[in-house]
Amino acid sequence: MKANQASLIWVGAGSGAPDLVTVRGRRAMQRADHLFVRKDVDEGVWKAWMTDGVIHVTQAGEKWLEEAEAACFRGERVVRLVPGDPLMDPSVRNELERWSEKGLSFEVVPGIGREWGDLSYAGISLAGNEEKNETPGTLVNGNRLIPVGPGEWGAVLKQLQQEGWALDTPAALIRDGSRAEQRVWMGALATLPEADGAAGHHTLVVGEGVTTRDRLTWFERLPLYGRRILVTRALEQAGILSDKIRALGGEAMEFPAIEIHPPARKEKLDEALDRLNTFDWVVFTSVNGVTTFFRRLSELRMDIRSLHRARIAAIGPKTAQELEVKGIRVDCLPEEYRAEALVEAMRPLVRRGENILLPRANIARPLLAEELSEMGCHVVDAHAYDTLPASGGVRELLRELEEGRIHVITFTSSSTVRYFIRALEREAEDVSSRIQRAWIACIGPITADTATEMGLPVDVTAEEYTIDGLIDAIVRLPQGLKEES
């Protein structure tokens, strides 16, 4: 038996935030067939990087090693996801030793140790003085760094006193570093709140190094610090909004309320593509429409040059940008990014009798097709993709909402609103009461009107109907939940 026939990758999940997983760790998760997740890893970490290729995710219990070995010998790519850095955790070290004793190969992908990540996000530096040439260690330049587990607070204080630490020594207690719930308490060691009764991961820092926090705090000064923001966009588009949220200190939680699928009936689109060179205009109303239109062209092995005589319209800058990436110049782009504005922008450009193709979603509003038809144009409204409700993760989302862990819910289209409500109604009654503590942010007035019709109180609407405009709107919202503001 060759050792490399059963290779397992231990990946460190870092200190808590999904975007702190290393690039190598992300790639390992994305390529995995089977992911064994330790129960104290937040699900947001693996959900952020797992792809559709992962066939099974296990919240691993005691017997996971046996299951992992069997999966490896089936030829599956297996990953074990653990908090922090794998080799800094005694229980993970035991797992590795048990695996190694079997003569099986493995790989370890380091992660940011939880305690070190907590220090960075709290703005505490334990770096030594260059002139004194101090060397870091377990006792870091005269400071003590201790993870505090449940029920350990009393023992930790006793240990520190035995080591000679005075109770009036400056100290800091960090809870859930790098997360929306991050809190930092500063003061003399004896005055810090006990960590025993509070949920979450705690790190205690004792020593003069904690005073750097006054000068180096950065995370809590970011405009979206302390907010967990629900992103309801389709999975293919969620990353853009999530990345912007994280860059401003927020925590993005993705729940794709809509799923993008190939159209159930392709006949109308295929017929239009077959005579693409007869259209005077092709109008794109979303990035998804661009992506699926050109994907279908490729599947049918059709030549993009069939578009040579058509002028191109796009509803907004992101859609136009996607077209330009494919080498297509946009001839009409409205100043306001909605169907009504696109109609007015096209009105002086189109002529009676022209042929217009609208490749768009199965649930698109009829307004654009109706208005262009009233101008005397021949309009083919073809489904380029189907938009369907979310199929999973609803119970977890309801739990997060009930526990008050989601501060803002974002909607980027009317379909995300409708399908979000529809998904929740499949699992719960009185949906509006479940989300009344969260702020509601919409990308534009059409989306806001739909939310209002569905019984959702809209708190803010983007002034510019773009993702950046939506981010600006969220920043204007008060901190915390509605009942706390």
What is the spatial distance between Cα 439 and Cα 474, in angstroms, rounded to a whole number?
9
Whether the pLDDT of residue 346 is over 90: the answer is yes
* Torsion 114-119-120-126 (CA) sign: negative
Per the structure block, which two tokens stand in for 121? 């996000």
Could you report the per-residue pLDDT of 62-119, keeping only the tens digit for each? Answer: 678 888 888 888 888 899 999 999 988 888 888 888 888 888 888 899 998 888 889 9
pLDDT at 369: 94
**pTM of this prediction?**
0.73
Average confidence (pLDDT) over 338-345: 91
Structural domains for the chain:
3-112 (3.40.1010.10), 116-221 (3.30.950.10), 228-257+390-484 (3.40.50.10090), 266-388 (3.40.50.10090)
Lowest mean pLDDT segment, chosen from 73-77, 233-237, 324-328, 440-444: 233-237
Whether the pLDDT of residue 142 is over 70: the answer is yes
Could you report the per-residue pLDDT of 459-481, keeping only the tens digit for each? Answer: 999 999 889 999 999 999 999 99
Measured CA to CA in angstroms, residue 378 lies from 373, 384, 430, 455, 460 at distances of 6, 18, 45, 38, 39
What is the spatial distance between Cα 278 and Cα 265, in angstroms, rounded to a whole number?
22
Could you report the per-residue pLDDT of 268-322, keeping only the tens digit for each? Answer: 999 999 999 999 999 999 888 999 999 999 999 998 888 889 999 999 888 999 9
Which residues have a Cβ under 8 Å from the Cβ of 482 and sit 6 or more positions away? 436, 437, 438, 439, 459
Which residues have a Cβ under 8 Å from the Cβ of 127 and sit 6 or more positions away? 136, 141
Which residues have a Cβ under 8 Å from the Cβ of 60 and sit 6 or more positions away? 36, 37, 38, 39, 80
Could you report the per-residue pLDDT of 374-427, keeping only the tens digit for each? Answer: 999 999 999 999 988 877 788 889 999 999 999 999 999 898 999 999 889 888
First and final C-alpha spacing in the chain: 63
**R_g over Cα of the chain:** 27
Determine phi and psi for 175, rounding to 5 degrees: -115, 130
Of residues 351, 283, 343, the one with CA closest to residue 314: 283
Higher pLDDT, 239 or 202: 202
Q: 151: phi > 0 → left, psi -120 to 50 → alpha, else beta; which?
A: left
Could you report the per-residue pLDDT of 143-189, keeping only the tens digit for each? Answer: 888 888 888 888 888 999 998 999 999 999 999 998 888 999 999 99
Q: Parallel, antiparallel, or unpaired: how do β-strands 143-148 and 139-140 relate? A: antiparallel
CB-side neighbour CA atoms (13 Å) of 15: 23
pLDDT at 475: 96
Please spell the DSSP secondary structure of 150-165, one letter per residue: TT-HHHHHHHHHHTT-
Q: Which residues pair with residue 475 across a beta bridge?
A: none
Mean pLDDT estimate for the chain: 87
Of residues 276, 315, 321, 344, the one with CA closest to residue 413: 315
What is the spatial distance between Cα 177 and Cα 81, in angstroms, rounded to a whole number?
19
Which of 12-26, 126-140, 217-231, 252-266 is predicted most confidently? 217-231
- Alpha-carbon torsion angle 247, 195, 192, 182, nearest 10: 10
DSSP annotation of 379: E
Whether the pLDDT of residue 252 is over 80: the answer is yes
Query: How would you write 189-211 as a 3-class SS string?
Result: HHHCCCCCCCCCCEEEEECHHHH
- Alpha-carbon torsion angle 397, 225, 448, 411, nearest 10: -40
